[in-house]
Structure 1
């Protein structure tokens, strides 16, 4: 006997309204629809194929209410565990099932996760510039919008194109690293120049904007552990909210050296996707914020496990939220942000207007915070007719090379 929540259709929707997104749509026998985000920037079609060719057939006929059982089925039965493709697939299914459950309950999802623990989720915006004048204009734009926390990225003199430096405008932050082309573009990198210059940027920012604005920075995996330790120490006088991805964390033991040498708070994890990735970092309290995303870490179920584990060590959440997390993924993150106790901050990059034509959202921004809204489920609707106007376009993230031509961490 089937239940009203028996899954009868699973659709994988790929569209590119300003950038590529992979959306999973799960429909029950009673016509209730749940959405999940499966976007993996630069590798979108790998996830779409996994969902369409290997997972969708498994879901037909299952009870959509059995979220935990389905999560474990997809994680354990495939034999090949973890990794960004697998965990993004599981995340999309998990989000869609939670969306269905909350829609059937007639509640916003955060109510099923235990209810609200706060009035809204503090977010940080992005500011950047080719020089300090442009960066200052960008920061002022973010503050005028009501933001209280801002990530600063600025070009280093003599280095050319830089990670995180978007359009020179006080309006919408427009940075899209994935170029719409068949090959990756290349950018240069010089750690010595960066390490010499960056502390002066934050000295200027504190003098210009005062002590109350929360300032963040992303080193984007570019530094060795000893370089990261030096940068963290050099930035201590400027009271950063966090220093993000100061060194690649595939070797988590390397963070011991960083932690011993600086008290600047550390945020790590946007390329991580499982509890196993975080275990040592959390148990040894080598980080202060977990940067994983709901889209890449097994969905609401997977990411909440990581956050609950982190809470035992006084480590807070800091979910990844760039524009390659679709509005579906952002909504899911906000429901989790509102519910958990150890929330820290949420990254917030506004999607381009074209994305808003495909994804109709209910979340709202006010006083430096986002709230997911009170529509049933995740609060996102997908306009398939609008999406048809934006077909998939190949796009790849850049590659970074050192001065001598060696490929470096991007």
Structure 2
């Protein structure tokens, strides 16, 4: 039986096209586990939190005691929750599950109860500055095998909109095409946020016509999703939901700012469009009102930002009692380690709904070697022991940290707005 005491832990920061923070834990017997601690635009805050405050507490602990370690890090710090703390706890939790499954010589999903399905339905991000470019993006993703599509579009009169790639080509490497997610440098290479301008009325006028055109072109069967990215008031979100009802959305995502769950009561009362929210949540407690009052249809947290596999499984089980499904946040700022954790949960959870999937760049996949497979529109974590991801330390060292920020949104009069 391997010795399961934690011998060492190390934070690895690498930037193969975008920044990632990875925690590597090693047991006395040499079993290695990986956890994702990436917090887009605030990566070093988590790296320092891990290195200075968490790693010193891990040495000598039994790597098998995952629940106890989770509670120790969450309750013992007194200052609970928040994205930095929960990303750090998530990294430890993922790494310990990775180790436990490797000791058991099983892929992780087997320790979570085994398969509930053969693969996880994945949706892709299609976007375009205009309808022609959007249609090209949808066709490209359908050709890649996706069977569900998130639709985002430029808005007439606005130079750029977060969620819409600046270019559909221009020589971008495979996996980076249509990728709007990386934190961006400001003008002149300065590490300052890009500032975008927003117009809600123009957006509300434009989006229904986009979905009418997409349904006309691609038919009634294709599952379509849309992300409002917290930009709307409850009344505006209700207006959008009602205007999109004829186009049979799979879901409308993040229609209002997530800080006030009671806003969803108004939206729910005024539209039947399915609602998804939660990618900025860090705790099961953030969802309590939304779940118990059935104000949403899908929970959207990322394993990396919500305390890891242990906490996310509890959230999914809580949601299941109320008939609510999962739709875990899977952008490219969740590393392949975090995405692997999602896929093992997706395979095991009975109330799985759909999995967001943005394809990582070739450079990222040279650093993180995965066992994922994608077939017939579905993702599978593979059959490697543990999470099924290895990190190439030599390749990681070739990509130095590159400070960058996500954009800031302003109204035409200069007021900072949700984005």
| Bin of the TM-score, shorter chain as denominator length | over 0.9
Query: Once the 2 structures are TM-superposed, how far is the Cα of residue 3 of structure 1 from its aligned partner?
Result: 6.7
CA-to-aligned-CA distance 1:238-267 (integer Å, 9 cap, x gap): 000000000002111111000000000000
C-alpha separation in 2, matches of 1:241 and 1:147: 14
Q: Taking structure 1 as the reference length, what is the TM-score of the superposition?
A: 0.98
Report whether the alignment pairs 1:227 with 2:236.
Answer: yes
Aligned to 2:314: 305
2:180 is matched with which residue: 157, 160, 175?
A: 175
Equivalent in the alignment of 1:288: 297
Equivalent of residue 193 in structure 1, options 189, 199, 202: 202
Please name the residue that 1:88 is paired with.
87
Instruction: For 1:293 and 1:176, locate their aligned partners in 2 and report how far apart those are by CA, in whole Å.
Output: 15
Task: Indicate yes or no: 2:281 matched with 1:265.
Answer: no
Per-residue CA deviation, residues 68-93 of structure 1 (Å, 9 max, x unaligned), is 00000000000000111111011000
Give the CA deviation at 1:29. Answer: 0.4
Q: Is the 8 A contact 1:177 1:398 kept in 2?
A: no
Deviation at 1:237, TM superposition (A): 0.0
State the distance in 2 between where 1:261 and 1:139 align. 30
Judge conservation of contact 2:127–2:137 (CA < 8 Å) in 1: yes
Deviations 1:119-155 (A, max 9, x none): 0000000101110000000000111111110001110
4+ long deviations beyond 6 Å: none
Matched, 1:217 2:226: yes
Distance 2:182 2:51 in 1: 27
CA positional deviation for 1:174 = 2.3
Unaligned runs of 5+ residues in structure 1 are none
Q: How does 1:386-397 map to 2 (within 5 A)?
A: 386-397=395-406
Q: Distance in 2 between matches of 1:45 and 1:315?
A: 34
Which residue in the other structure is 2:413 paired with?
A: 404
**Which whole-Å CA distance do the structure 1 matches of 2:109 and 2:291 have between them?**
25
8 Å CA contact 2:212, 2:247 repeated in 1:
yes
State which of 261, 281, 286 in structure 2 corresponds to 1:252.
261
Three-state SS of the structure 2 residue aligned to 1:231 is helix
Q: Return 164-173 or 247-256, whichever deviates more.
A: 164-173
Q: In structure 2, what is the equivalent of residue 73 of structure 1?
A: 72
Report if aligned partners of 2:7, 2:59 keep a CA contact under 8 Å in 1: yes
Q: How many residues align?
A: 409
- CA RMSD in angstroms comes to 1.1
Q: Provide the TM-score with structure 2 as the length reference.
A: 0.96
